[in-house]
Amino acid sequence: MRNLLLPVLVAALLFIFGVSILNVQLWYSAKNDSLAGARYAVSNMNVIMDEARHASEIARDISLKGCDREGQYRLGTEAALQPHLRTILILQHGETWCSSLPGNRTLLTEPLRMREPVLQLVPASQVVNGRPVLLYQTPFAASQIVITISDQHIRDALSTPLKGVSYALMVGNAVLGPTGDIHLAEKKEPNVGYVASTTLPYAIRFNQPPIFSVHRLIKQGMGIVIFIFLMSCIAAYALVKYLNKSTTPEEALRRAIMKGEIVPFYQPVVNGKEGTLRGVEVLARWKHPKAGYISPASFIPVAEKSGLIIPLTKSLMEQVVTHMNAIASKLPEGFHVGINFSASHITSPTFVEECLKYKARFHRKDLNLVLEVTEREPLHVDEHLVKTLNVLHENGFVIALDDFGTGYSGLSYLHDLHIDYIKIDQSFVARVSMEEDSTRILDCVLDLARKLSLSIVAEGVETKEQVDYLNRNDITFQQGYYFFKPVNFTELIKIILSKPKVKVIVE
Ligand code: C2E
Ligand code: CA
Ligand code: CA
């Protein structure tokens, strides 16, 4: 299986993304729940505070009327009837003046001070039964009314059905939690929320839910986590299928062009008599990452059929400009640089413009830029084609007719077209051997070219006999394995720097 890494990565990202969104959603609702729980605890506390307020009013009346038996009885009854109150005391001059307990007792071990804040949490050590209490205090004339509320009732008010959140009562910086004694709150507590009462100086303190919690995800979102996991797997599977589906030759070629895998090779063209380098022909090669260099014979027809020949050739032109500019100072004067163009490209509306831009980008202005037009495919020579090539000829381009002698398009257009030279197809050159009559066809082709006053380049020159024959017939421009095979740019630099002198055998 190829391309497995990308689908796995995509699946992992999808899973992480999905679980993150779920986690945020669960965190948000847990936050809202814990806040609602705190508000619920405040409303529970307010019920207790209402009882204390009501008891305070009774105590005020008693403090006005006097703490006689009737007064004591009324205080005792109020404390007994209000479900959450423990004792009601009236202090005067710091002493217990009247109490709901028989004999005006208090359950506090420490003497109470006057004018204390409205609410006060008293630790277990200061209460006779060893349980903390909340004091609700109101001053009245020279008296102070103190109502004690048992910790158990407060804890009941704080308890909510929410799991994982614990609520505590906070008065000043004293805290009464769901268990244990009163303690002092730390100054800065992370992840702690408060809901303050709007009527009395207390707040409900609670622990905020953590932003990320595996436990919460498993408990509350396990079903959705499994669903996200399955969807991520399905996405990965679909991606694997897509990446591994067999690509069409067009798609493969399109990607190769985009990735810059179509590169120019250069085959030198030499002067067979003088042995000097006269130029190069650019030949496309597919530098395939797995298959190595692929011959143009297998992909040029695909490119021509699919229209990819235009981006392919443009990519080659770009690379050729870069290469030639890099070695501009080393190139011989009037050096020929030939590129093969397919008929469908030449007839495209932007062809002239592309060629002019291509020419303008060369640093060396004396280069002979050759446009090789093949005759192998039937060339539909119409007015437009003739005009296009003639405009380019006028703009300094060299027009070469490739594979001369193999086409079927007739020769009449040679009069209208400004052809600079023809390239004799290698199939004719290949016939030249020691045997008599082997050159008869080539003789005819050369005769025809001469009669049409066309300059000639011979292709596919492989043997000494062929070189000799061509030299005897004054075909000086020669190209073939006898001299050089097509080479990459690095090899071309070496060839140019070595300034080759080709061995010429003159008989
Ligand atoms: P072509 O334009 O006729 O190119 C010459 C072909 O002959 C090249 O084949 C070259 O490698 C080969 N050749 C050169 N010397 C010899 C020799 O001594 N003996 C033999 N047997 N062969 C020799 P290549 O590179 O495989 O190209 C094949 C054809 O593909 C080219 O024929 C051309 O028609 C086409 N082609 C190549 N590159 C391009 C391109 O960039 N655009 C277009 N449109 N066609 C291209
Ligand atoms: Ca050619
Ligand atoms: Ca050719």
Tell whether the model's pLDDT for residue 2 goes beyond 60: no
Bridge partners of residue 374, in order along the sequence: 402
The token duo for 78 is 């109020």
H or E element in which residue 321 lies: helix 309-326
Residue 451 Cα distances to 46, 341, 397, 455, angstroms: 118, 26, 23, 11
| Gap between the Cα atoms of 121 and 150, Å rounded | 10
Please check whether residue 344 is in contact with residue 309, taking contact to mean a CB–CB distance below 8 angstroms. Answer: yes
**What per-residue string of b and e applies to 298-331 under the rule 16 or more CB within 10 Å gives b?**
ebbebbbeeebbbbbbbbbbebbbebbeeeeeeb
Measured in degrees and rounded to the nearest 5, phi and psi for residue 267 equal: -110, 120
What's the longest Cα–Cα distance across the chain? 154
Instruction: Work out the average pLDDT over 122-137.
Output: 90
Please check whether residue 56 is in contact with residue 144, taking contact to mean a CB–CB distance below 8 angstroms. Answer: no
Q: Please give the pLDDT value at position 453.
A: 83
Tell whether the model's pLDDT for residue 6 goes beyond 80: yes
Burial of 31 (0-12, 13-18, 19+ CB in 10 A): middle
Tell whether the model's pLDDT for residue 440 goes beyond 70: yes
Tell whether the model's pLDDT for residue 172 goes beyond 50: yes
20-56: per-residue pLDDT in tens?
A: 999 999 999 999 999 999 999 999 999 999 999 999 9
| Gap between the Cα atoms of 481 and 448, Å rounded | 26
Atom of ligand 1 nearest to the CA of 284: 38
Tell whether the model's pLDDT for residue 449 goes beyond 50: yes
219-247: per-residue pLDDT in tens?
A: 989 999 999 999 999 999 998 888 777 67
Q: Which residues contact 199 (CB under 8 A, 6 or more apart)?
A: 46, 49
Q: Would residue 410 be called left, alpha or beta, if left means φ above 0 and alpha means ψ between -120 and 50 degrees?
A: left
Instruction: Work out the average pLDDT over 138-166.
Output: 88
By DSSP bridging, strand 174-176 and strand 167-171 are: antiparallel
Q: Please give the pLDDT value at position 441.
A: 84
* Residue 506 pLDDT grade (very low, low, confident, very high; cuts 50, 70, 90): very low
Q: Please give the pLDDT value at position 507.
A: 34
3-state secondary structure (DSSP) of residue 237: helix
Return the CA Rg of the chain. 50
Instruction: Work out the average pLDDT over 173-190.
Output: 86
| Gap between the Cα atoms of 426 and 304, Å rounded | 22
Q: Which segment of 129-138, 240-249, 446-455, 479-488 scores lowest on mean pLDDT?
A: 240-249
What does the DSSP assignment read for 47-103?
HHHHHHHHHHHHHHHHHHH-SSHHHHHHHHHHHHHSTTEEEEEEEETTEEEEESSGG
If you ran DSSP here, which 8-state letter would residue 127 be given? B
3-state secondary structure (DSSP) of residue 403: strand
* Residue 110 pLDDT grade (very low, low, confident, very high; cuts 50, 70, 90): confident
Cα(396) to centroid of ligand 3, in Å? 22
3-state secondary structure (DSSP) of residue 334: coil
Instruction: Calculate what percentage of the chain has a pLDDT beyond 90.
Output: 63
Q: Please give the pLDDT value at position 503.
A: 46
Q: Please give the pLDDT value at position 505.
A: 37
Please check whether residue 471 is in contact with residue 456, taking contact to mean a CB–CB distance below 8 angstroms. Answer: no
Residue 237: CB within 6 Å of ligand 1?
no
Instruction: Look at ligand 1, atom 35, and give the residue with the nearest C-alpha.
Output: 296
Tell whether the model's pLDDT for residue 58 goes beyond 90: yes
Instruction: Look at ligand 1, atom 43, and give the residue with the nearest C-alpha.
Output: 340
Please check whether residue 235 is in contact with residue 14, taking contact to mean a CB–CB distance below 8 angstroms. Answer: yes
Residue 349 Cα distances to 352, 382, 384, 389, 488, angstroms: 8, 14, 10, 13, 31
| Residue 56 CB-half CA count within 13 A | 20
pTM of the model: 0.59
Q: Please give the pLDDT value at position 243.
A: 79
What does the DSSP assignment read for 449-503?
HHHTT-EEEE----SHHHHHHHHHTT--EE-STTT---B-HHHHHHHHHH-----
Q: Which segment of 26-40, 99-113, 158-172 scores lowest on mean pLDDT?
A: 99-113
Please check whether residue 143 is in contact with residue 91, taking contact to mean a CB–CB distance below 8 angstroms. Answer: yes
Q: Which segment of 325-329, 364-368, 382-386 scores lowest on mean pLDDT?
A: 382-386
The token duo for 163 is 């799991």
Tell whether the model's pLDDT for residue 388 goes beyond 90: yes
* Residue 189 pLDDT grade (very low, low, confident, very high; cuts 50, 70, 90): confident
Ligand minimally distant from the alpha carbon of residue 296: 1
Ligand minimally distant from the alpha carbon of residue 405: 3
The average confidence (pLDDT) of the chain is 89
Cα(421) to centroid of ligand 1, in Å? 17
Residue 408: CB atoms within 10 A of its CB come to 9
Please check whether residue 269 is in contact with residue 281, taking contact to mean a CB–CB distance below 8 angstroms. Answer: yes
Instruction: Look at ligand 1, atom 41, and give the residue with the nearest C-alpha.
Output: 284
Q: Which segment of 267-271, 381-385, 460-464, 465-469 scores lowest on mean pLDDT?
A: 381-385
Using the structure block, give the residue that is written with the tokens 């268990």. Answer: 179
Please check whether residue 336 is in contact with residue 280, taking contact to mean a CB–CB distance below 8 angstroms. Answer: yes
Measured in degrees and rounded to the nearest 5, phi and psi for residue 106 equal: -125, 160
Q: Please give the pLDDT value at position 403.
A: 86
- Angle 5-65/214-244 helices, nearest 10 degrees? 160
- Higher pLDDT among residues 482 and 415, named by residue: 482
Probe residue for ligand 1, chosen from 283, 294, 370, 459 as the CB with the greatest number of ligand atoms within 8 Å: 283
Instruction: Look at ligand 1, atom 27, and give the residue with the nearest C-alpha.
Output: 296
Residue 78: CB within 6 Å of ligand 1?
no
Tell whether the model's pLDDT for residue 79 goes beyond 60: yes
Using the structure block, give the residue that is written with the tokens 């597919």. Answer: 286
Q: Would residue 262 be called left, alpha or beta, if left means φ above 0 and alpha means ψ between -120 and 50 degrees?
A: beta
Instruction: Work out the average pLDDT over 408-429.
Output: 79
Instruction: Look at ligand 1, atom 25, and give the residue with the nearest C-alpha.
Output: 283
283-295: per-residue pLDDT in tens?
A: 999 999 888 999 9
Using the structure block, give the residue that is written with the tokens 């932003």. Answer: 211
- Cα 378 from chain centroid (whole Å): 48
Cα(506) to centroid of ligand 1, in Å? 28
474-505: per-residue pLDDT in tens?
A: 998 999 999 999 999 999 999 999 876 554 43
Instruction: Work out the average pLDDT over 408-437.
Output: 80
